[in-house]
């Protein structure tokens, strides 16, 4: 199948290079969106932009099935070699270049497309808020299938290999305030020390034990309280990171965390949840995984298809299935000899793997039927 997919390598790398050099953070991807719109205009592909939000949705073909393909478009603000900037250290530049290549292929080969193809250029994946805003915009129809992709570190997937699913974990971050009663350090009995309450809570969180063989974790990642060495603090803030293999397991883990927080409350100690960030776990679809597996073997051969490794990382791609707007979903895990790892400024990968990714994403659409 690979030999039947002709790509414009020069244009793909031109797109990648421009996007790589012009990274923008979540919901500020103004120039990125303009570039994507320009490229779609050049291809004659109709698209819709969102009101008061970056990103866009392009449409090719018509009828059933409705197939979606999503790429994230944001980058990260980081410091690299002493210079602060915005870098595509998570590979979203490659993802966009691949989806643009898919668009070009189906403009040139419309007979290969059965049904409608929706190309979703989604903002703000890094803040796990973009997908839900796209869904709530009302611009997307119900999709029979939705495909995504992500470049993978070499320790997970090597070049000329790919996973038919990235089994991402459910993730939650809780931002919490704890309030007590101040007093002089010499008369601690007159106060309610938020550090003592937090220490008790942290120990209870560490002791959470669920009856499962599936991986999960509870980690306190931040704590701040007190500004004086002789005053008992009456105010503190902390953050808790929860991760679980499935959404049901996350629900159970969340309940146990809430119980722990409630258990340290007294007349003088109050724990308040200020906010939380959530990204659901992957919901495996055997139909979508089978299509992606076939696309991988078509392009890379049987040796290129590898078993997916569990990852504690999250991705808001999974909101599309979690919220029910897409029936069958999966993400391609693209091997590209990426080092030293994602979210590390200066990370590199083999550019030629972008072409492999484009061919696989083209092929999975071609393989998809009702």
Binding-site residue positions for Mn(2+): 90, 92, 126, 150, 343
Give the DSSP per-residue string, 164-218: S---BPEEEEEEEEEE-B-EETT-GGGSB-HHHHHHHHHHHHHT---S-SS-EEE
Dig out the tokens for 149 from the structure.
């992709």
CA 320 to CA 142: how far, in whole Å? 10
Angle at the Cα of 272 from the Cα atoms of 194 and 209, rounded to 5 degrees: 80
Give the DSSP per-residue string, 277-338: EEEPPP---HHHHHHHHHHHHHHH-GGGB-PPPPBS---GGGHHHHTTSEEEEEEEEEEEEE
Dig out the tokens for 369 from the structure.
């039927």
CA 104 to CA 191: how far, in whole Å? 67
CA 237 to CA 272: how far, in whole Å? 10
**Does the CA dihedral 338-16-46-114 come out positive or negative?**
negative
| Positions at the binding site | 90, 92, 126, 150, 343
Q: Omega into 105 within 30° of 0, i.e. cis?
A: no
Residue 264: CB atoms within 10 A of its CB come to 20
CA 80 to CA 21: how far, in whole Å? 14
Strands 231-232 and 47-49: unpaired
134: enclosing H helix or E strand: helix 130-136
CA 147 to CA 332: how far, in whole Å? 8
């Amino acid at each position: 199948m690979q030999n039947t997919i002709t790509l414009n390598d020069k244009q793909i790398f031109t797109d990648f290079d421009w996007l790589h050099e012009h990274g923008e953070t979540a919901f500020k991807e103004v120039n990125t969106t303009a570039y994507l719109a320009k490229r779609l205009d050049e291809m004659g592909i109709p698209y819709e932009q969102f009101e008061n939000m970056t990103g866009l949705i392009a449409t090719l073909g018509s009828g059933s099935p409705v197939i979606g393909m999503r790429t994230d478009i944001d980058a990260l603000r980081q410091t690299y070699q002493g210079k602060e900037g915005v870098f595509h250290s998570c590979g979203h530049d490659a993802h966009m270049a691949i989806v643009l290549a898919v668009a070009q292929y189906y403009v040139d080969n419309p007979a290969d497309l059965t049904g409608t193809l929706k190309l979703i250029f989604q903002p703000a994946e890094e803040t796990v808020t973009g997908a839900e805003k796209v869904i709530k915009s009302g611009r997307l129809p119900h999709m029979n299938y939705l495909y995504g992709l992500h470049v993978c570190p070499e320790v997970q997937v090597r070049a000329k290999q790919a996973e038919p699913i990235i089994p991402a974990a459910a993730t939650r971050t809780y931002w919490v305030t704890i309030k007590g009663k101040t007093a002089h350090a010499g008369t601690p009995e007159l106060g309610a020390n938020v550090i003592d309450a937090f220490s008790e809570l942290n120990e209870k969180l560490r002791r959470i034990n669920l009856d499962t063989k599936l991986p999960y974790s509870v980690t306190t990642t931040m704590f701040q309280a007190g500004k004086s060495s002789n005053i008992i603090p009456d105010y503190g803030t902390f953050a808790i990171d929860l991760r679980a293999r499935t959404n049901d397991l996350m629900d159970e883990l969340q309940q146990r965390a809430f119980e722990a927080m409630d258990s340290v409350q007294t007349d003088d100690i109050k724990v308040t949840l200020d906010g939380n960030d959530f990204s659901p776990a992957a919901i495996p679809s055997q139909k979508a995984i089978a299509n992606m597996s076939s696309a991988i073997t078509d392009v890379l051969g049987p040796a290129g298809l590898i078993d997916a490794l569990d990852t504690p990382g999250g991705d808001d791609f999974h909101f599309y299935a979690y919220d029910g707007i897409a029936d069958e979903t999966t993400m391609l895990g693209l091997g590209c000899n990426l080092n030293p790892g994602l979210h590390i400024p200066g990370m590199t990968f083999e550019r030629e793997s972008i072409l492999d990714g484009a061919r696989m994403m083209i092929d999975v659409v071609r393989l998809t039927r009702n």
